[in-house]
């Protein structure tokens, strides 16, 4: 009897990060900075990408002197700049084995009615088009590597509607399905694909998004507005993500809140949406 193999024909081992070269976007702060530090500590080389030169310099300073780190000031919403990046990184390190599309911004805490198109387009440009540009620019090279990995950062807001962050959520939902589609398209290749769903992470994404006072509004006074939910530390989030890479996880949930809401959304999506609305309506009302 002849057995016929069904499904993907590529059977590479999972990627270990040591000795590999990664591009990390949003490396100037938060999870991106911690991912850069952790990858370097694990023996990887990192092309750290950010739009903010000062923040990127701080990442380099806190990482310590290393030939395994290179800094690239790039606006990921600029397609031409992104398309030129892989060649520069390959010239520096000789190859690229993985990309962590981590950079992202949030929107002002207002409803869609009150959002200008300029804000909507900026959120989509950074959160969706940036990862698309970099993924497409890198794919021809990644396919030549013995094993490669694409990691795209969605959000708990990518599967759970958060009033006042609807456009942000739409951008992250787009990244979710983009990544899942890539996983299927590349299943028979050497390129592995994971999507990350962070919950509340202790970062400065609000200030990086140009939203002064956002954290104060989220914290509230404990009466008319909800208190900020427990947050996962950025370094812990980085550890979870790197473990997800090395174990080739399809989905990487970061934080107890992300895991809980993922479960509730599967069990009773409308009830989960209502729960989040009750948490957020005080902020929207303000």
Is 1 a domain residue? no
| 3-class secondary-structure state, position 250 | coil
Is 79 a domain residue? yes
Tokens 């290393």 correspond to: 66
**What's the number of domains the chain is made of?**
1
Grade residue 1 by pLDDT with cuts at 50, 70 and 90: very low
Encode 206-227: b = buried (16+ Cβ within 10 Å), e = exposed: bebbebeebeebbeeeeeebbe
> What range does the domain containing 247 cover?
21-285
* pTM value surpassing 0.75: yes
Dihedral (CA of 174, 176, 178, 184) sign: negative
Is 117 a domain residue? yes
The pLDDT value recorded for residue 144 is 97
Is 5 a domain residue? no
Residue 25 · residue 140 · CB < 8 Å: no
Which residues sit opposite 70 in a β-bridge? 47
> Which DSSP symbol is given to 129?
I
The pLDDT value recorded for residue 215 is 47
Is 89 a domain residue? yes
Compute the distance between CA of residue 29 and CA of residue 139 in angstroms, rounded to an integer.
26
Q: Look at residue 155 and tell me whether its pLDDT is greater than 60.
A: yes
Is 8 a domain residue? no
Is 12 a domain residue? no
In 3D, which of 274, 209, 278, 198 has the Cα closest to residue 239? Answer: 198
Lowest mean pLDDT among 2-11, 76-85, 92-101, 247-256: 2-11
* Catalytic (active site) residue 168: yes
What CATH number does the domain containing 46 carry?
A: 3.40.50.720
Is 6 a domain residue? no
Which residues sit opposite 150 in a β-bridge? 99, 193
**Catalytic residue (choose from 133, 168, 250, 277):** 168
């Amino acid at each position: 009897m002849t057995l016929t193999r069904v499904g993907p024909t590529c059977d590479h081992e999972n990627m270990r990060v040591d000795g590999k070269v990664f591009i990390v976007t949003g490396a100037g702060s938060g999870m991106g900075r911690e991912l850069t530090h952790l990858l370097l500590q694990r023996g990887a080389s990192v092309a750290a990408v950010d739009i903010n030169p000062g923040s990127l310099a701080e990442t380099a300073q806190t990482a310590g002197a290393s030939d395994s780190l290179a800094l690239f000031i790039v606006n990921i919403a600029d397609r031409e700049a992104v398309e030129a990046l892989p060649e520069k990184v390959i010239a520096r390190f000789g190859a690229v084995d993985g990309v962590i599309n981590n950079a992202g911004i949030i929107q002002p805490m207002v409803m869609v009615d009150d959002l200008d198109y300029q804000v909507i387009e900026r959120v989509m440009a950074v959160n969706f088009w940036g990862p698309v540009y970099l993924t497409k620019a890198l794919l021809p090279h990644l396919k030549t590597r013995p094993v490669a990995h694409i990691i795209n950062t969605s959000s708990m807001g990518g599967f759970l509607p958060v009033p006042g962050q609807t456009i942000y959520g739409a951008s992250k939902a787009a990244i979710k399905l983009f990544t899942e589609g890539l996983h299927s398209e590349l299943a028979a290749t050497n390129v592995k694909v994971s999507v990350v769903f962070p919950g509340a992470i202790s970062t400065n994404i609000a200030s990086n998004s140009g939203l002064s006072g956002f954290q104060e509004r989220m914290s509230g006074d404990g009466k008319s507005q909800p208190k900020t939910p427990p947050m996962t530390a950025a370094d812990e989030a980085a550890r979870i993500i790197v473990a997800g890479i090395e174990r080739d996880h399809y989905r990487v949930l970061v934080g107890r809140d992300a895991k809980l809401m993922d479960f509730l959304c599967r069990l009773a999506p409308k009830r989960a949406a209502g729960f989040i609305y009750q948490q957020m309506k005080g902020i929207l009302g303000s």
